[in-house]
A and B are shown apart, each in its own frame.
Chain A
Amino acid sequence: MKLSKLSIPYRAFKTAGSILAIGVFSSLETASFAPGYFLAISGLFILGSLAVSFWFYLVWKNFDFEITEDTFDIRSGVIQKKKREIPLHRIQNVDVRRNIFQRALGIAKVNLETAGGQTSEASLKYVELEKAQGIQEKVRRLKQKDLSVEESSSESPLFEISEKELGILSVTSLNMAAISAIAVAFSFFGFAGQFVEEAVNALGFAFLGFIAVGAVLVSVLISAASNINKYYGFKLYRQGDSLEYERGLLNRSEGSIPFEKIQNLRIEENPLKRLFGYSTLKVETAGYSGQGQDQSGPEVAVPLAEKSHVLDLSNHIFSHGEYSIQNVSQNAFRRYFGRYILLSLMPVAGILTASQVFNLGFNPVLVFFLIPLIGVASYLKYVNKGFYEGKEFFYTQNGFWNRKTNITPYYRVQNLSLTQTVFQKRLNTSTLILDTAGIYTFSSNPQAVDIEGEVGEALFERVFQSFKDSSKK
């Protein structure tokens, strides 16, 4: 099979476009208006474009692929010929992507993903859309026959995002922490206003406020737009033994999450979502599953839905049943209170120094204003922490700004740790960490933080026992 002929002009335009951009920039620097200069440059550009087009014609001509019973064969290379045979059972996912230009031309990029690698194993730069979907379908069929898995493809999606949910998502998925930090900073400034005014005149202060409000508004708009672009028309299907999703407005992408790779489910709720009773469901997998190379966190299985619906879906994946999160040790509150007091000493010391240096008055009332704030922050941190020991799953919950509830099957545990810092020792608390296999650098392991010392010791034993029981053959 061949690539789409449209891929020649498309790739040529893309390359010529970047050459043109470079050309324009470099000629701006050496701007010369000598007669013939412009002509020479355009001539060079036209010649270059022709060469580029010819090159991509050769690329197209030499590119050939074929799906056999058990391999995906690709022959390519203009100067150096390459022939690759990728065994079908190694292909985890066939990923079809289209950006807005490709959609206008009716072509798509097909990526073949295999396990382990961080990048695509091979990509077909641009085939007709129908052909792309045909390839996806054929590989899936051949693979499933290979694994002798009966097709239990349900035509109706498990989840489909509604316009209302998309709307709520775009509003609620803001970085709440950043916005409140700005708000708190401003109320703090307002409180210290009478002293600040001496240094900054009122007009300047108002201007600063204007900028800050503007920045918040812009970030709200950008975040809303990016969420709509990312999750527009989100659909989740069950296909054999994997979850398939498609999503996106400008870049439509599809991907799959094999059930056997799922390590951990995660329900995320920020304060706004909790207020309206919505949550997000994410899936942590071990290995690449085609959402993108820039991925640094778990994959989204449900961008946003009502909590009960999210729980239905998480039960569809794990059948974990009911759970009720237990609070951690009350001493945890004391730990956070102490920690925040210590942390707040630094900015207070900073303000004190600044007030000495710039000869401004320092109002000690500020410090008293901080204490109830720290109390509230510590309480919120404490009250959002929790864990639950289920029969086959362990549940942990952490975080106020983005509360994450992890549902971890015992048989996914890689190793188990119980940690206790000197501060925790004083308060008789400890932290239990369940380490699962994962590829994400910026995602923390499920952990029950600041549980009572004895509970920690007991869970350290029992969770390991549950791991053993659940992973025995």
Chain B
Amino acid sequence: MRSLEKKILAPWILTGLLVSVVLTGVFSGVLAVLNIFSFVLAGVILIVFTGVLEVYMLRRFDNWGFEMREDYLYLERGVIKKVKTKVPYVRVQHVDTQRGLVDRVFGLSSLVVYTAGSRGADVGIPGLLPGDADDLQEKLRKVAVESEEEFGDAV
């Protein structure tokens, strides 16, 4: 099973920190309205939120895994709700690599696999090296075409 690039932790940890700061801001506002605001209290709130969110982010990283198996792409992810998905190659309609602003800053890329399914219509793998994402895209495209010869297309 392959895990994501360690680099993805940087934007995730920063996101956790940002969310924690915003939440602390909101709570401080509430405390100020109730007239019980103190910097010590705000500090404690900030530490608690940051702790919880960063643990979440680390768990999120640990739990992410994917693998190209014999006839399907296997993905595992989720902290509060663990999700395991099998995407049969024959169902892959097209594969995108995407590089958003954050991805580019951290030198990362993500891969999105499209099927005709309504729910998992876009199965995405974040935190890949751009080269790896391109490789994976190419491989998936190839196996998708190959598997079409073996299986019928049922849409």
Q: A412 to B155, alpha carbons, bound, how many Å?
A: 7
- For B80, B91, B123, the residue with the greatest tally of chain A CB atoms inside 10 Å of its CB is B91
Give chain A nearest CB distance to B112 CB in angstroms: 14
Which residue of chain A has its CB nearest to the CB of B153?
A471
Contacts A417-B84, A468-B71 given: A439-B151 contact, CB under 8 Å?
Answer: no
Say whether B154 faces chain A, with CB atoms less than 8 Å apart: yes
Q: A464 to B88, alpha carbons, bound, how many Å?
A: 9
Which residue of chain B has its CB nearest to the CB of A421?
B81
Q: A472 to B88, alpha carbons, bound, how many Å?
A: 12
- Is the Cβ of B82 less than 8 Å from the Cβ of A414? no
Q: Interface extent on A, as a size class?
A: 20 to 34
Q: A247 to B120, alpha carbons, bound, how many Å?
A: 34
Say whether B115 faces chain A, with CB atoms less than 8 Å apart: yes
Contacts of A415 in B (CB 8 A): 85-88, 91, 115, 117, 120, 123
Say whether B61 faces chain A, with CB atoms less than 8 Å apart: no
Say whether A253 faces chain B, with CB atoms less than 8 Å apart: no
- Is the Cβ of B81 less than 8 Å from the Cβ of A420? yes
Chain B 110-132, CB-CB to A under 8 Å as 1, else 0, gives 00000111111001000000000
- Is the Cβ of A460 less than 8 Å from the Cβ of B88? no
- Is the Cβ of A438 less than 8 Å from the Cβ of B86? no
Which residue of chain B has its CB nearest to the CB of A473?
B152
Say whether B83 faces chain A, with CB atoms less than 8 Å apart: yes
- Is the Cβ of B81 less than 8 Å from the Cβ of A473? no
Contacts A411-B152, A419-B81, A471-B152 given: A436-B117 contact, CB under 8 Å?
Answer: yes
Give chain B nearest CB distance to A346 CB in angstroms: 19
Q: A464 to B91, alpha carbons, bound, how many Å?
A: 13
Contacts of A418 in B (CB 8 A): 83-85
Q: A417 to B84, alpha carbons, bound, how many Å?
A: 5
Tell me the A268-326 residues at the B interface (CB within 8 Å). Answer: 286
Q: Number of contacting residues on B, CB 8 A? A: 27
Give chain B nearest CB distance to A419 CB in angstroms: 5
Say whether A135 faces chain B, with CB atoms less than 8 Å apart: no
Contacts A414-B115, A415-B120, A433-B119 given: A460-B84 contact, CB under 8 Å?
Answer: yes
Say whether B46 faces chain A, with CB atoms less than 8 Å apart: no
Contacts of B120 in A (CB 8 A): 414-415, 417, 435
Which residue of chain A has its CB nearest to the CB of B79?
A422
Contacts A435-B119, A439-B118 given: A421-B80 contact, CB under 8 Å?
Answer: yes
Say whether B53 faces chain A, with CB atoms less than 8 Å apart: no
Give chain B nearest CB distance to A85 CB in angstroms: 26
- Is the Cβ of B83 less than 8 Å from the Cβ of A417? yes
- Is the Cβ of B80 less than 8 Å from the Cβ of A413? no
Which residue of chain B has its CB nearest to the CB of A420?
B82
Say whether B90 faces chain A, with CB atoms less than 8 Å apart: yes
Say whether B64 faces chain A, with CB atoms less than 8 Å apart: no
Which residue of chain B has its CB nearest to the CB of A441?
B118
Give chain A nearest CB distance to B87 CB in angstroms: 5
Q: A242 to B117, alpha carbons, bound, how many Å?
A: 23
Say whether A437 faces chain B, with CB atoms less than 8 Å apart: yes
Say whether A15 faces chain B, with CB atoms less than 8 Å apart: no
Q: A325 to B72, alpha carbons, bound, how many Å?
A: 29
Give chain A nearest CB distance to B148 CB in angstroms: 9
Contacts of B87 in A (CB 8 A): 415
| B90 in complex: contacting residue of A416, A421, A443, A471, CB < 8 Å | A471
Which residue of chain B has its CB nearest to the CB of A464?
B86
Q: A420 to B91, alpha carbons, bound, how many Å?
A: 24
- Is the Cβ of A467 less than 8 Å from the Cβ of B116? no
Q: A415-B91, A419-B78 provided; 18 other pairs, C-beta below 8 A?
A: A411-B152, A414-B115, A414-B117, A417-B84, A417-B86, A417-B120, A419-B81, A419-B82, A420-B82, A421-B81, A435-B115, A437-B118, A445-B119, A460-B84, A464-B88, A467-B88, A468-B88, A472-B152
26 contacts between A and B (CB under 8 A): A413-B88, A414-B88, A414-B91, A414-B116, A414-B118, A415-B86, A415-B120, A415-B123, A417-B83, A420-B81, A422-B81, A435-B118, A435-B119, A436-B118, A437-B117, A437-B118, A437-B155, A438-B118, A445-B118, A460-B86, A464-B72, A464-B88, A467-B88, A471-B152, A471-B154, A473-B149
- Top-4 shortest CB links A-B: A414-B117, A437-B116, A435-B117, A438-B118
